[in-house]
């Protein structure tokens, strides 16, 4: 019986790559690869959800790319394996996936010979070299493009311009057109210069966040920090964007209808309002008063589950001294990580009893989606706009 079960397990895992040491046959339906070459983690996470939906609609296995990171003092990007931060297995509940490392080590040599390595782009991507006038995707020009593909020693022999095809599989029959134009026998791997997904993430793909679950390492680190560094009791997680790059980004508020992840609170058609300065860069007064009101609200509604601490994640100024001084009257302690680790920040924020984030930030958006999938309450700084006036109502994030 045990032998039969083992055989069944191997068969059941076929066409999904390498899972916990089980190497399986190549997927006859083909694969999708892409470079997560736009932005940092928040943008890449949005693109991942779109790529998952796209791969499922085309019925191709998605090759999970490493996370592209930029380290101070490094000229080229660093590629961090997908499963350092997140588990692969939960994603398989939704669709077939394989890490890029496993694909290149076990599968690529069988189905993706060097002469079939063709880069896909919507239209010509101009070369950085003015002397190069060849029509091409130039998939490896620039950073992180070159360093990304070089990490896996991938070179392309040609380019394929796929326009007018697109990635929106929810509002058209484009998936069937992809299948008609690129059958897996002749095109075993569709390798995209950029992600086959939109930023910000489409509303229809937000729910896929539930399959993106922290690795045991990061889940354990978050649990240990909460258990050993925060006082026992409920805590609020907050995300503060206030670095110089964010200050400059907020200058675009006046000339934009949507900015970065703002549809998560304003709506994809601005049905919940328009952009305004405080939504992007809330003042210290707004931050302090919003925290006070949430703490008092929780105390009035649940006397046995009072807020004991606030955990702050920030790209620059955590405002520890300011918040400690300004929140003395509500008797809470203020905390942050001892060493910088943005991913551990995210893991802690996702498990907080309450969360307040920046509506425009894709980093906050990752936390919001994770908490939506778990049924945890979340809020946005200075939203809705009437909330700036410090009325009695505290605006709760409505699930989109």
Q: Residue 369's domain is classified under what CATH number? A: 3.40.50.11350
Terminal CA-CA length for the chain: 48
Number of domains in the chain: 2
In a domain, 355, yes or no: yes
Q: Are residues 192 and 289 in the same domain?
A: no
If asked whether residues 63 and 13 sit together in one domain, one would say yes
The H or E element that residue 227 is part of is helix 216-229
Select from 291, 303, 323 the least CA-distant residue to 394. 291
Asked whether residue 148 falls in the same domain as residue 288, the answer is no
pLDDT in the model for residue 131:
78
CATH number at residue 40: 3.40.50.11340
Residue 120 lies in a domain: yes
- Domain final residue pick, 204, 231, 256: 204
Q: Which two tokens stand for residue 76?
A: 């080229």
Q: Which residues pair with 48 in a beta bridge?
A: none
User: Do residues 50 and 38 touch, judged by C-beta distance below 8 A?
Assistant: no
Q: Which residues of the chain have pLDDT under 50?
A: 1-23, 390-400
What are 231-288's pLDDT values in tens digits?
Answer: 999 999 999 999 999 999 999 999 999 999 999 999 999 999 999 999 999 999 999 9
Query: Does some domain include residue 209?
Result: no
Domain boundary among 204, 225, 252: 204
Which pLDDT score is estimated for 5?
38
Establish if 372 belongs to a structural domain: yes
Residue 385 belongs to a domain:
yes
295 sits in the region (left: phi over 0; alpha: psi -120 to 50; else beta) called alpha
Do the domain assignments include residue 399? no
DSSP H or E segment with residue 294: helix 284-301
Same domain, 220 and 368: yes
Q: Are residues 343 and 235 in the same domain?
A: yes
Cβ-count burial 381-398 (b if 16+ within 10 Å, e if not): bbbeeebbeeeeeebebe
Query: Is 19 in the same domain as 154?
Result: yes
Whether 95 and 186 share a structural domain: yes
Q: What is the pTM of this model?
A: 0.90
Read off the pLDDT of residues 200-229 as tens digits, 9 standing for 90 and up: 999 999 999 999 999 999 999 999 999 999
Which residues, at least 6 apart from 384, have a Cβ–Cβ distance to it below 8 Å?
Answer: 272, 273, 395
C-alpha separations of 390 from 109, 164, 285, 394 in Å: 62, 49, 10, 8
397, part of any domain: no
Do both 255 and 199 map to the same domain? no
62 and 31: one domain?
Answer: yes
Domain with 330, as residue range(s), is: 216-389
Q: What is the pLDDT of residue 18?
A: 42
Instruction: Look at residue 157 and tell me if it is in a domain.
Output: yes
Are residues 117 and 9 part of one domain?
yes
């Amino acid at each position: 019986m045990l032998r039969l079960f083992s055989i069944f397990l191997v068969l059941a895992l076929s066409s999904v790559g390498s899972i916990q040491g089980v190497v399986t046959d190549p997927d006859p339906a083909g694969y999708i690869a892409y470079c997560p070459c736009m932005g940092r983690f928040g943008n890449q996470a949005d693109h991942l959800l779109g790529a998952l939906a796209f791969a499922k609609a085309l019925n191709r296995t998605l090759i999970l790319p490493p996370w592209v990171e930029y380290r101070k003092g490094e000229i080229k990007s660093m590629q961090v394996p997908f499963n350092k931060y997140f588990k692969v297995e939960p994603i398989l509940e939704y669709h077939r996936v394989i890490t890029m490392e496993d694909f290149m080590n076990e599968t690529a040599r069988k189905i993706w010979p060097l002469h079939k390595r063709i880069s896909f782009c919507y239209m010509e991507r101009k070369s950085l070299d003015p002397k190069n006038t060849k029509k091409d995707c130039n998939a490896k020009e620039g950073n992180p493009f070159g360093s990304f593909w070089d990490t896996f020693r991938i070179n392309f022999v040609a380019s394929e311009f796929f326009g007018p095809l697109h990635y929106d599989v929810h509002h058209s029959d484009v998936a069937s057109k992809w299948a008609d134009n690129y059958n897996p026998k002749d095109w075993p791997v569709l390798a995209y210069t950029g992600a086959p997904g939109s930023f910000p993430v489409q509303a229809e793909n937000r729910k896929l966040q539930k399959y993106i679950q922290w690795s045991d390492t990061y889940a354990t680190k978050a649990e240990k920090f909460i258990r050993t560094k925060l006082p026992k009791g409920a805590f609020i997680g907050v995300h503060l964007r206030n670095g110089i790059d964010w200050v400059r980004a907020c200058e675009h508020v006046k000339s934009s209808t949507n900015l970065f992840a703002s549809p998560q609170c304003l709506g994809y058609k601005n049905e919940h309002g328009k952009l305004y300065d405080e939504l992007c860069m809330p003042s210290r007064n707004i931050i302090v008063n919003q925290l006070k009101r949430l703490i008092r609200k929780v105390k009035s509604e649940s006397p046995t589950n009072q807020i004991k601490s606030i955990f702050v994640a920030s790209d620059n100024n955590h405002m520890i001294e300011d918040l400690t001084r300004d929140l003395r009257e509500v008797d809470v302690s203020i905390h942050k990580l001892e060493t910088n680790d943005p991913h551990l920040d995210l893991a802690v924020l996702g498990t907080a009893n309450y969360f307040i984030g920046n509506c425009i930030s894709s980093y906050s958006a990752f936390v919001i989606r994770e908490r939506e999938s778990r049924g945890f309450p979340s809020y946005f700084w200075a939203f809705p706009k009437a909330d700036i006036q410090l009325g009695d109502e505290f605006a709760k994030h409505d699930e989109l």
